């Protein structure tokens, strides 16, 4: 499969600055970009825990670092609407559909891979081919297990919600209804 775009998921910036985990993801994306020379979508608006519109989005924060690493501005696309992993998948899909890129590569951290894979595979549906690259964070096995368990519980809530609402993979309109309900409460 020849990837047509790389998607980099944001990771909780601190005080308007890129987190170490976010920087690791961008470094991996740059490594891949250097080999593949395909566009990069930087995905992240404001987390559900922060107030939307206060300060720069995760994607804008990542953009400066991406340019400093050597990624050409013309190859950078920003997705700034998402507030969580489900939103990362939904809103990047809209860009990917518009651009006609059915083969993508998603970059995230090792602890986040299972959750990201679920949301991207489910929300993108069967018409897209997605590869995943996880960045090793260096967390201890115990730390990694604890974080992954939290991510698993979060994912399982959504699996249940998708089933209860009869949402099948790739159904954008129904996923958007779920996103609206979550985002309106934040």
Among 2, 175, 185, smallest CA distance to 92 is for: 175
Q: Distance between CA 83 and CA 149 in Å, rounded?
A: 20
- 131 within 8 A of 1, measured Cβ to Cβ: yes
- Please write the tens of the pLDDT for every residue from 18-75: 888 888 999 999 999 999 899 999 999 876 555 655 667 889 989 999 999 999 999 9
The CA distance from 101 to 87, in Å, is 18
pTM of this prediction?
0.92
Q: What is the pLDDT of residues 114-126, one digit of tens each?
A: 999 999 999 999 9
Q: Spell out the domains of the chain, with CATH numbers in brackets.
A: 5-185 (3.40.50.620)
């Amino acid at each position: 499969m020849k990837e047509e775009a790389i998607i980099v998921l944001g990771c909780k910036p601190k005080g308007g600055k890129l987190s170490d985990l976010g920087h690791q993801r961008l470094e991996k994306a740059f490594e891949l970009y250097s080999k593949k020379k395909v566009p990069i979508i930087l995905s992240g608006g404001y987390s559900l825990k922060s107030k939307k519109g206060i300060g720069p989005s995760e994607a804008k924060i990542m953009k400066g670092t991406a340019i400093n690493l050597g990624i050409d501005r013309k190859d950078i696309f920003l997705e700034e609407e998402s507030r969580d992993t489900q939103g990362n998948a939904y809103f990047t899909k809209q860009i990917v559909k518009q651009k006609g890129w059915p083969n993508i590569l998603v970059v995230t951290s090792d602890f986040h891979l299972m959750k990201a894979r679920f949301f991207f595979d489910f929300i993108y549906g069967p018409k897209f081919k997605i590869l995943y690259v996880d960045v090793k964070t260096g967390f201890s096995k115990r730390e990694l297990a604890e974080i992954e368990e939290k991510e698993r519980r979060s994912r399982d809530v959504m699996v249940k919600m998708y089933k209860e609402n009869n949402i099948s993979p790739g159904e954008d309109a129904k996923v958007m209804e779920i996103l609206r309900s979550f985002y309106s409460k934040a």
